[in-house]
């Protein structure tokens, strides 16, 4: 599978997956992306678009591990296949868990240590 980045107003366009690491530069957002919940408050945010999902996948869960509240989020029914998460530590891992109807389960973990966290 291939995981491509999604460019947004809160993420520089150099954020990408390279090998087993997410690299690039994240901007610091004051106040967060929502008034409450795991995307609220000052911090760095990651937006990724998941592409090339296996056609026989029945579940694709994505998120950061360990998480500050959201855990892994199911995206199989999301037409955009996007993850938006607040990064609380570069020791976190970006995780993708894909399952199919044959009982197969594949877990992939990606390092965040290649990210540059820039404050505004």
pLDDT digits (tens, 9 = 90+) for 83-119: 888 888 778 888 889 999 999 998 988 888 777 776 5
The gap from C-alpha 67 to its chain's centroid, in whole angstroms, comes to 11
Residue 43 contacts residue 29 (beta carbons within 8 Å): yes
pLDDT exceeds 90 at position 59: yes
Q: How many domains in the chain? A: 1
pLDDT of residue 69: 66
Q: Distances from the Cα of 81 to the Cαs of 74, 85, 88, 98, 120, in angstroms?
A: 9, 13, 22, 13, 28
pLDDT exceeds 50 at position 1: no
Residue 10 contacts residue 33 (beta carbons within 8 Å): yes
CATH of residue 7: 2.60.40
pLDDT of residue 9: 52
Within 10 angstroms of residue 117's Cβ, the number of other Cβ atoms is: 14
Give the structural domain span for 95. 2-118
pLDDT of residue 99: 93
pLDDT in tens, 5-37: 444 555 666 777 777 888 888 777 888 878 888
Q: Tell me: cis bond preceding 15? Omega within 30 of 0 counts.
A: no
Q: Say what the pTM is.
A: 0.79
Q: ∠ CA 117-31-114 to the nearest 5 degrees?
A: 15
């Amino acid at each position: 599978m291939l995981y491509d980045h999604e460019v947004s107003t809160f993420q520089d366009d150099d954020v990408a997956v390279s090998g087993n690491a997410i690299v690039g530069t994240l901007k610091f957002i004051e106040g967060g992306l929502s008034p409450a919940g795991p995307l609220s408050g000052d911090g760095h945010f990651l937006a990724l678009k998941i592409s090339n999902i296996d056609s026989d996948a029945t579940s694709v869960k994505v998120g950061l591990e360990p998480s500050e509240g959201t855990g892994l989020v199911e995206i199989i029914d999301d037409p955009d296949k996007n993850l938006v998460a607040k990064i609380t530590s570069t020791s976190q891992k970006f995780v993708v868990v894909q399952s199919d109807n044959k009982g197969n389960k594949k877990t992939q973990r990606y390092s965040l240590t290649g990210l540059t966290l820039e404050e505004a």
